[in-house]
C-alpha cells in the first residue's frame, strides 16, 4: 500500500500550507483528501507536489507492505 504520511511531515516543514496548495497552486481539496486517506493519486500530482515543495518522491510517499495488497 502507498502511504502518504511523509507528505504531511514534508508539508509541515515547508513554507506551504494546505491553504496555499489549494489557493496558490490550485491543488484540489479532493486531492488533499486522497492524500489524507492514502487513496490513489496520479503521477502528475506527485510530480507537482515534488516541484511545489522542492522535494523528492520519497518525501511525499512510501510503500508499506500490507495484507490488503492484491497479487497481480
**Can you give the residue ranges of every domain in the chain?**
2-63
Q: Which CATH architecture has domain 2-63?
A: Orthogonal Bundle (1.10)
pLDDT recorded at residue 66 = 83
**Cα distance between residue 17 and residue 70, in whole Å:** 34
Burial of 20 (0-12, 13-18, 19+ CB in 10 A): middle
What's the confidence (pLDDT) of residue 68? 78
pLDDT digits (tens, 9 = 90+) for 22-70: 999 999 999 999 999 999 999 999 999 999 999 999 999 999 988 777 7
CA–CA distances in Å: residue 41 to residues 15, 30, 36, 45: 23, 10, 11, 7
Predicted TM-score (pTM) above 0.75: yes
Amino acid at each position: 500500500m502507498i502511504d502518504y504520511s511523509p507528505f504531511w511531515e514534508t508539508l509541515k516543514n515547508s513554507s506551504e500550507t494546505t491553504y496555499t496548495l489549494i489557493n496558490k497552486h490550485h491543488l484540489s481539496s479532493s486531492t488533499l483528501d486522497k492524500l489524507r486517506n492514502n487513496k490513489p493519486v496520479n503521477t502528475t500530482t506527485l510530480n507537482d507536489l515534488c516541484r511545489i515543495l522542492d522535494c523528492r518522491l520519497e518525501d511525499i510517499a512510501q510503500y508499506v507492505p500490507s495484507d490488503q495488497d492484491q497479487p497481480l
